[in-house]
Amino acid sequence: MSKTSSSFFCKNCGASSPKWLGKCPACGEWNTFIEEVIHKEKTDYKKTWKKENPDKRALKPMLIDEVEKGNEQRIAIKDKEFERVLGGGIVPGSVILIGGEPGIGKSTLMLQVALQFSNKKVLYISGEESDNQIKMRAERLPFSNKECYLFTEVSTQKIGKALQELEPDIVIIDSIQTLQSELIDSTPGSISQIKETAGDLIRFAKETGTPVFLIGHITKDGTLAGPKLLEHMVDTVLQFEGDRHHVYRILRTTKNRFGSTSEIGIYEMQNSGLREVSNPSEILISQRDETLSGVAISATIEGMRPLLIETQALVSQAVYGTPQRNSNGYDAKRLNMLLAILEKKCGLRMGMQDVFVNIAGGLRVEDPGIDLSIIAAIVSSYENVALDSKICFIGEIGLSGEIRAVNRIEQRITEAEKLGFATVYVSKFNKLPKAKNKIRIIETAKLEEFLKLLFG
């Protein structure tokens, strides 16, 4: 006879306890325990896969010097943005979680990746949409793969059986929150279900060397729904983000065991699916006929790529007692620091002004190399003087108003030159090779000096 019982799980970290607790002993959060009914008695459901992970090694301790590097053959992807974000292709046996808000295009992206493979058996498992809906979506996309299988199912036991029979090369699950293990009574999307179903799929991936993509939902505060544990369990976590009302989407890595986490991929949502944007600098700079005040261009580095971005600022007389400071895509604390430097070192009365800063295109930039451009945009708006649209600004600002050197300056300058910029302002401390570029390079060391050069 089967015996059911319930257990309490922490919503934050997934820790379990037989009784309710006010504070989670594992992660220290308060009021996170919720009750879930689980089926304690497990059948001896044991999976044996016909396919074995070719990379399986001896299960005993080994000297690190003696470990032979397996011939880790990454699976190439036609979609070059996606391939780069993963760190150069899919590692066999890896589990990749893709999160994003509803309607952002996760299903479209994964279906399109599935259809772009050739000579690879891909299994797309959907618990959210019907075969018909997926077929209709596939018809909109300009790709086709003769070996792409569809399976609309939510039970992990049935999915396990299909995996045994079909032996796919790549598996896509849409989405992890809809899966349900028959061994657990709680509803799909609950912590115990996610832990169990993801655990099953991860075991499958590791034992057979088959890569598995898991699509995940996002909660209101922007984190992946389900226990944080899920993010620890998988190898790579990708975020698909962007404004649903704009056409551009950004794919970024927040965790990657097999590559850098600073790469981003940019897509444009079209009627026929997502188009790769391989030259993002062109789209990130807004088209404008006349020159407007409060706009300056900078060159930053995202992962391996130089990227030209547009920084915008609006400075206006504060109406209320406390001036507002608002920043979109740029660190708000850093903005406050720049305003304090302008006040103290350059004598600009920023204390009485509202200041808004924005990076165009919905991008978030952490690189301090765009400081100089932010300053140029702020002063341009403050003085109401438009800057020449053919100037690019690269430099980090130090606390005493010095303009500091930035990394990979040559790559940034070359990108600006490639896009037709005539002048670039850089730090004097960047050691530049002489007369290599056609673009005019102006070197400055101090903020006062820079503002004098620019605004007279």
CB nearer Mg ion, residue 111 or residue 230? 111
> Residue numbers of the site for Mg ion (CB under 5 A)?
107
* Shortest spacing between CB 174 and Mg ion, in angstroms: 6
Q: Which does 103 bind (CB under 5 to 8 A by kind): ligand TYD, Mg ion, none?
A: ligand TYD
Instruction: Name which of 109 and 370 has its Cβ closer to Mg ion.
Output: 109
Least distance to ligand TYD, CB of residue 364, Å: 20
Phi, psi of 78 (to 5 degrees): -70, -35
Nearer to ligand TYD, 61 or 102 (CB): 102
Nearest approach, Cβ of 324 to Mg ion (angstroms)?
Answer: 38
272 binds, among ligand TYD, Mg ion, none (CB under 5 to 8 A by kind): ligand TYD
Q: How far apart are alpha carbons 310 and 362 in whole angstroms?
A: 11
Contact set with ligand TYD (CB under 6 A): 100, 102-108, 137, 140, 269, 271-273
Select 226 or 369, whichever has its Cβ closest to Mg ion.
226
Count CB-CB contacts under 10 A for residue 430: 19
Shortest distance, position 111 Cβ to Mg ion, whole Å = 9
Q: How far is the CB of 191 from Mg ion (least distance, A)?
A: 21
Q: Is 281 helix (H, G, I), strand (E, B) or coil?
A: helix
On the question of a cis peptide bond just before residue 175, with omega within 30 degrees of 0, the verdict is yes
Instruction: Tell me which of ligand TYD, Mg ion, none is bound by residue 105, counting a contact when its beta carbon lies within the kind-specific cut-off of 5 to 8 angstroms.
Output: ligand TYD
Q: Which is nearer to ligand TYD, 140 or 408 (CB)?
A: 140
Helix H or strand E encompassing 139:
helix 131-140
Residue 120: partners with Cβ closer than 8 Å, 6 or more residues away: 75, 145, 147, 169, 170
Binder of residue 102, out of ligand TYD, Mg ion, none (CB less than 5 to 8 A by kind): ligand TYD
Which helix (DSSP H) or strand (DSSP E) does residue 205 occupy? helix 191-208
Which of Mg ion, ligand TYD, none does 347 bind, CB closer than 5 to 8 A by kind? none
Task: Report the phi/psi class of residue 266: left, alpha or beta, with left for phi > 0 and alpha for psi in -120 to 50.
Answer: beta
Nearer to ligand TYD, 32 or 108 (CB): 108
At a CB cut-off of 8 Å and minimum separation 6, what does 264 contact? Answer: 85, 250, 251, 252, 302, 303
Minimum Å gap between C-beta 247 and ligand TYD is 8
**Which strands sit side by side in the sheet containing 248-256, from one edge to the other?**
148-152, 122-126, 170-174, 212-216, 95-100, 236-241, 248-256, 264-270, 273-276
Which one-letter amino acid corresponds to residue 423?
T
